[in-house]
Amino acid sequence: MAFTFTFSTQIKPTPLPFLQYSTSSFHTSLVARNHVPLTFGAPVALFGNSCYFRQRFCGLKLWIFGKLNIERPQSKDGLGKEFKTIEIQGKDQTGGSFEEAKEPESQLDKYSSYQPVISEDPVASFELSSSSIQTNDGQGSRSPSLCIAVIGATGELARLKIFPALFALYYSGFLPEDVGIFGYSRKNLTDQDLRCIIESTLTCRIYHQQNCGDKMEAFLSKTYHLYGGSDNKKGMQNLNARMEKIEGKSEANRIFYLSVPQEALLDVSSSLADNAQSQKGWNRIIIEKPFGFDARSSYQLTQSLLSKFEEKQIYRIDHLLGRNLIENLTVLRFSNLVFEPLWSRAYIRNVQVILSEDWGVERRGRYFDGYGIIRDIVHSHILQTIALFAMEPPISLEDEDVRNEKVKVLKSIRNLELGDVALGQYKVSSAGKGHDVYLNNLTPTFFAAVLYIDNARWDGVPFLIKTGMGLIKHRVEIRIQFHDVPGNIYRERIGHNVDLATNELILRDVPDEAILVKVNNKIPGLGLQLDASELNLLYKDKYNVEVPDSYEHLLLDVIDGDNHLFMRSDELAAAWRILSPVLHEIDENKTAPELYEFGGRGPVGAYYLGAKHGVRWADD
């Protein structure tokens, strides 16, 4: 006997799975500068890292082609074919339609602006200028229709997440071929230095790996570095000038990713607004969390940003909101009749949002010690998840319609009180795990709370949230527990078995993305024995795709002008209203978190908190 349960879910129309592209070692060695014989039959040796060799080899090829007056053959990536029109239509300002030249373009034409340097040193004659940029002078390829600048380009976030996500989008065709990528930092680097830094982090998709080298070469050739120095005003002026040099007179749109510390955000954003915005298209800025330290500082930050930018230009990013689980919330609820009628206090007993990590805070260092887990995770990710889960059906899927419904939920949530909160901090175990030099005695690494939404749909339903580090298991999931069946005729068979008494819908992102429905059924055989079983949609078994990184998803949303997963200013203020009173009380009273073992289940206080509201943590 088999159960068949059909419902709609979301499959992202995103790129295919990753395959690590192996690059040469980056160990630097001195380049032989002695005279190299160029007579026929004589060997030529070049020493250096992969970037250096590529640079010189490309120069050699172009020099030979120029002497022989021939064109390079077209490569597999179809550069000789006609390009389709690429439209980037923003919601904040009308974008242009950018059409590629329909004349077949040879690879030699593509690199026509790169001229090998001829000197008395034959080796040096093959070297290309690392700062050369293709300009829109009416010849060669046209200027970029989109420029993306990563401010803080040498930081860990930029190297490990932002640049790989941009390359994945470019590789899969979600960025225009003539995109310009700019890295802005206070390190005095050349374009080639930046390319070598990020090259080892770039990966290619499995089903398109035959063009991996060509695509990576093309992406790196469109990546430039700009030295910002200590004066952001002058640095942004230089960035603008360099962007304009390759944009020419055509319409140009710009995205600025501000991967900078909070203390530098105001100066960078103000300098950017005054000196680096495009005057020939739309501009969008991406800001990393946390968005302030409390309600007051967040308000000041918001007012400063709104004095320079319009609301529709600001994208406050939280990478956890780019997970497939978040997007699937609305798909599952609003496209399946079996779930929508159940989505209220009439059928749902409680909702549990769980985000636990099995590693410590060493990856976040001093930043985490300054802001803590409440400001880092609860304020944006947890509250945004609850807002998407509990909101009323929007009138459309337009981003502002979705945001309007989210902010209604946030404004309906009661202010948190200290009695409805459990704080914890992991301690050093006997094995020595869990030690972190950045952590002080009052910084919580665990937070649990109970929230109530005071509206007609959710009145009296407890929303339990739990997030922590150094716990037994890495888990990200939402659990919906339903009421018991009234007058259940099988209650004698169920007895005190909680699992049999409770139906559950589980939306799991980690460890294995899945949708689970827990139901009661009869065990086959003689007699009547009941069992709680799970109807299981395991994504890795159903869909032969790998879910892309959340940064890819969110960056693509920014390019498309879709901001429904990004917090609006009123959402930001509503979230701080919920948390600020309890944060101030914790800080003023210097409330010490309860200690728990690293690798354990968290503080005992979390279990007392659940019992106080008549709820048992389902993940245990």
Sequential DSSP letters for 468-486: ESSBSS-EEEEEEEEPPPT
51 - beta bridge partners? Answer: none
Residue 596 pairs in a beta bridge with: 426
Sign of torsion over alpha carbons 295, 301, 303, 305:
negative
**Cα–Cα distance for residue pair 453/460, rounded to 1 Å:** 8
Nearest in space to 264 (alpha carbons), one of 242, 288, 240, 245: 288
Quickly list H helices, 42-183: 50-68, 107-110, 156-157, 163-171
Are 116 and 163 within 8 A, CB to CB? no
- In whole angstroms, give the CA distance from residue 602 to residue 358: 11
Instruction: Tell me if 72 sits within 8 A of 112, measured CB to CB.
Output: no
Which residues, other chains included, contact 610 with Cβ-Cβ below 8 Å and sequence gap of 6+?
Answer: 448, 450, 464, 616, 617
Within 21-157, residue ranges assigned H as helices are 50-68, 107-110, 156-157
| Catalytic residue list contains 381 | yes
Report the candidate in 429, 426, 427, 432 with the shortest Cα–Cα distance to residue 446.
426
Catalytic residue among 225, 379, 381, 553: 381
How many CA atoms within 13 Å lie on the side-chain side of 248?
15
- Are 482 and 343 in contact by the 8 Å Cβ rule? The answer is no
Beta strands in 430-553 (DSSP E): 446-452, 462-468, 475-482, 504-510, 514-522, 530-538
Question: Do the bridges between strand 203-205 and strand 18-20 make them parallel or antiparallel, or are there none, so unpaired?
Answer: antiparallel
Cβ pair 215, 172 in contact under 8 A? no
- Separation CA 590–CA 576 (nearest Å): 20
Q: Active-site residue numbers?
A: 381
